[in-house]
Amino acid sequence: MTTEHGAEQLPTDRPPEGDDCRHCLDQGFVRLVETMGGDAAIVQAARVSYGKGTKSSRADRGLIRYLMKHRHTTPFEMVEFKFHCRMPIFIARQWIRHRTANVNEISGRYSIMEDRFWEPTADDMRTQSTTNRQGSLDEKIAGDAAAMAAQFCADQRTLYAHYEAALAAGVAREIARVNLPLSLYTEWYWKIDLHNLLHFLALRLDAHAQKEIRVFAEAMAFFVQRACPLAWESFEEFRLRGAEFSQSELQLLRDVVQSNNLWPALQTARTQQLQSDDASPRLIEREIAELSRKLMTP
């Protein structure tokens, strides 16, 4: 589509509904374009050094958990995702700090930027955190939040009208665009391997990440979980829901376990878990041995 100014203009319709597209915020989306590989590709790459392929789903699960836990990251790089995304510019600038993907973004020098903005609501008028310089609190401002949100939207309309007027007057697109606000939506194709994608998600799904970018991270997480269920399970176990301990913290845990003779109770609980009907116990045999070494060995 072209405009009266002779430039290409992106279509204004939303992406099609379906399993390969997740809508984000008011007008954004994450669309899965294609994937390469999955859990099988991870274990295939891990086992190539001694010439063995996939064994069984249980063995594959154990291997993927081992790889994730011990940070053997190369096999996860064998899986790739390509996304088509639309997000506000202020989110794109946070997103692009992850310099581990191939990105191609729409250019305001070539295309007429659409009259499409993230329009905040009163609930989005959050207060500044008192302990985190770059974060906010889940509390609305003390003043008229609805009026403030309406002012944001009015400013967007004014600035876009000035942009259109500049184009009509013959100002080059690369100059006319510079006053457009950060709330303007941009689009890009984003291709990344699974290892780096999981690192991105570990940071952007965290409660300390900005609420608006977490929405996009949750959309991508949906596609990762669907394409690589075993890898996603291990990611949740060891990265997303797990925790690391410093040397001092670990020694404190050891002292508590040993002084209270808690290890026999932990072993009993593990035996009961293995004898239960749970087909996928949270800890496998090798992991319980590693836990014993961590807690019992200074």
Is 2's pLDDT higher than 80?
Answer: no
Nearest to 70 by CA among 208, 242, 201: 242
Quick one: pLDDT band at residue 51, thresholds 50, 70, 90?
low
Please pick, among 65, 173, 177, 204, the residue that the annotation labels catalytic: 204
Are 65 and 238 in contact by the 8 Å Cβ rule? The answer is yes
Reported pTM: 0.83
Contact 104, 45 (CB under 8 A): no
State the pLDDT at residue 227: 97
What is the distance between the terminal CA atoms of the chain, rounded to a whole angstrom? 68
State the Cα–Cα distance between residues 278 and 150, nearest whole angstrom: 53
* Confidence class for position 284, pLDDT limits 50, 70, 90: low
Q: Tell whether the model's pLDDT for residue 270 goes beyond 90.
A: no
Kindly indicate the confidence band of residue 290, based on its pLDDT and cuts at 50, 70 and 90: confident
Q: Write out pLDDT tens, residues 125-170.
A: 998 888 877 877 778 878 899 999 999 999 999 999 999 999 999 9
Q: How far apart are CA 37 and CA 79, in angstroms?
A: 5
What structural domains does the chain harbor? Answer: 8-120+185-240 (3.30.1360.170), 247-296 (no CATH)
The more confidently predicted of residues 17 and 215 is: 215
The predicted structure's pLDDT at residue 97? 93
pLDDT at 295 over 80: no
> Which pLDDT does position 9 carry in this prediction?
43
Give residue-wise pLDDT tens across range 177-190.
Answer: 999 999 999 999 99
Give me 60's structure tokens. 């594959």
At 26, the pLDDT band (50, 70, 90 cuts) reads: very high
Contact of 125 with 145, CB cutoff 8 Å: yes
109 is catalytic: no
Q: Count CB neighbours of 169 within 10 A.
A: 8
| Number of residues assigned to the chain | 298
Count other C-beta atoms under 10 Å from residue 120's C-beta: 21
Task: Give the E-state strand segments of 93-222 in sequence order.
Answer: 102-105, 111-112, 126-128, 136-140, 185-193
The alpha carbon dihedral of 256, 260, 263, 265 has a sign of negative
